Chains A and B, each alone.
Chain A
Amino acid sequence: MKIAFKINGKSITKEVRPSLLLIDLIRDVLKLKGTKPGCLEGECGACTVIIDGYAINSCLYLAINVNGKEITTIEGLSGTKSPLHKTQEKMIEHGGVQCGFCTSGMIMTTKAFSDKCIAEGITPTRDEVKKSLEGNLCRCTGYVKIIDAAEAVYEN
Chain B
Amino acid sequence: MMKKELKVIGKSTKKLDGKARVSGQAVYGHDIELPNMLHGSILRTKYPCAEIISIDTSKAEVFEGVECVITANDIDVNNISYKRDHPILKKGTVNCNRDEIAAVAARNKEIADKAIQLIEVKYKVKDGIYDPFEALKDDAPRVNEFGKGAEKFGNKNIAESFHYEHGDLEGQKAKSKVIIKKSYELPRVTHACMATSNITADFNQLDGRLTLWSSTQVPFLYQRDIAHALKMAPSLIRVIQPIIGGGFGSKLDMHPFEPICALLSIKSGKPVQILFSREEEFILSPTRQPMVIELTTGADENGKFTFREVEIIKDNGAYTSWGATTPFVMMQTYSSLYQVPACKFDSHAIYTNNPFAGSFRGYGNPQATFSIETNIDLMAEELGMDKGEIRLINANYKGEITGQGLIYKTCGAIPALETVIRKSGFDQIVNEPKTGRYLRGIGLGSMLHVGGGAKIYRSDGCGTILKLDDYGYLTIVTGSNEIGQGSETVLAMIAIEELGIPMDKIKVINTDTDVKPWDVGVHASRTSFVAGNSLLGAIKLLKEKLNSKASELLDIETENWDYMDGKMYFGEFEINLDKVAREIHFGPPHELCTVSYFYEPPSSFQDKEYKGDVSGNYAFASQAIEVEVDTVTGNINVLSVHVSQDVGRVLNPIGLQGQMEGGVATGAGYALTEEMIYEKGMLKNPSFHGYKLLTTTDMPPVHFYPIETYDEAGPYGSKGAGEAPLIPTAAAIANAVSNALGVRFYSLPITAEKVLKALSEKKNELKLERVYFKMSVET
Contact = CB atoms under 8 A, between A and B. Distances in A.
A151 to B, nearest CB: 11
A35 B31 CA distance: 10
A137 B666 CA distance: 12
B658 A139 contact: no
Interface residues of B, number: 56
A91 interface: yes
Interface string B644-663: 00000000001101101111
B693 A74 contact: no
Contacts of B21: 97, 100, 103
A36 B661 contact: no
Nearest to A97: B21
Interface in B651-683: 654-655, 657-658, 660-666
Nearest to A145: B658
Contact of A140 (B26, B196, B246): B246
B699 A43 contact: no
Interface stretch (B12-20, B98-106, B709-717): B12-20
B658 A99 contact: no
Contact of A34 (B25, B245, B701): B25
B194 A38 contact: yes
15 contacts: A36-B30, A38-B278, A43-B687, A74-B23, A74-B24, A95-B14, A101-B193, A103-B21, A133-B695, A133-B696, A134-B696, A139-B662, A140-B484, A143-B699, A144-B702
Q: Is the interface of A mostly helix, strand, loop or mixed?
A: loop
Interface in B222-251: 243-248
Contact of B248 (A36, A84, A139): A139
Interface string A18-42: 0000000000000111111111110
A142 interface: yes
A2 to B, nearest CB: 22
A97 to B, nearest CB: 5
Contacts of A41: 278, 687-689
Interface residues of A, number: 53
Given A33-B24, A34-B25, A77-B23, A101 B194 contact: yes
B484 A98 contact: yes
Contact of B24 (A32, A92, A130, A137): A32
Nearest to B701: A144
Contacts of A37: 30, 196
B195 A98 contact: no
Nearest to A35: B24
Interface string A36-59: 111111011010000000000000
Contact of A39 (B278, B665, B696): B278
A67 B689 CA distance: 30
A99 B194 contact: yes
B740 interface: no
A92 B693 contact: no
Nearest to B665: A142
Contacts of B689: 41, 43
Interface string A79-113: 00000100010011111011111111001000000
B22 interface: yes
Main SS class of interface, B: loop
A142 B484 contact: no
Interface of A: 31-41, 43-44, 46, 73-75, 77-78, 84, 88, 91-95, 97-104, 107, 127, 130-131, 133-147
B507 to A, nearest CB: 18
A60 to B, nearest CB: 13
Given A36-B245, A38-B196, A41-B689, 9 more contacts: A41-B688, A43-B689, A91-B22, A95-B658, A131-B696, A139-B192, A139-B248, A140-B662, A143-B695
A103 B18 CA distance: 10
Contacts of A95: 12, 14-15, 654-655, 657-658
A102 B663 CA distance: 17
B194 A139 contact: yes
A102 to B, nearest CB: 5
B22 A100 contact: yes
A-B pairs with the 9 shortest C-beta distances?
A: A34-B24, A99-B484, A100-B21, A142-B661, A101-B245, A142-B665, A43-B688, A74-B24, A92-B18
Contacts of B244: 99
Contacts of A102: 194
Contacts of B192: 139
Contacts of B663: 142
A32 B25 CA distance: 9
Contacts of B18: 91-92, 97
B668 to A, nearest CB: 9
A137 B23 contact: no
Contact of A142 (B30, B193, B688, B699): B699
Contacts of B194: 36, 38, 44, 46, 99, 101-102, 137-140
Contact of B688 (A34, A39, A134, A146): A39
A99 B217 CA distance: 13
Nearest to B275: A37
Contacts of A101: 28, 193-195, 245-246
B661 A99 contact: no
Contacts of B696: 130-131, 133-134, 136, 143, 146-147
Given A99-B195, A101-B28, A139-B194, A145 B22 contact: no
B452 interface: no
B195 A38 contact: yes
Contacts of B245: 36, 99-101
Contacts of A139: 191-194, 246, 248, 662, 666, 693
Contacts of A104: 24
Nearest to B699: A143
B697 A131 contact: yes
Interface string B468-499: 00000000000000011110000000000000
Interface string B1-45: 000000000001011001101111111101101000000000000
Contacts of A140: 194, 246, 484, 658, 662
Nearest to B108: A28
B701 A97 contact: no
Contacts of B243: 99-100
Interface in B339-377: none
Contacts of B558: none
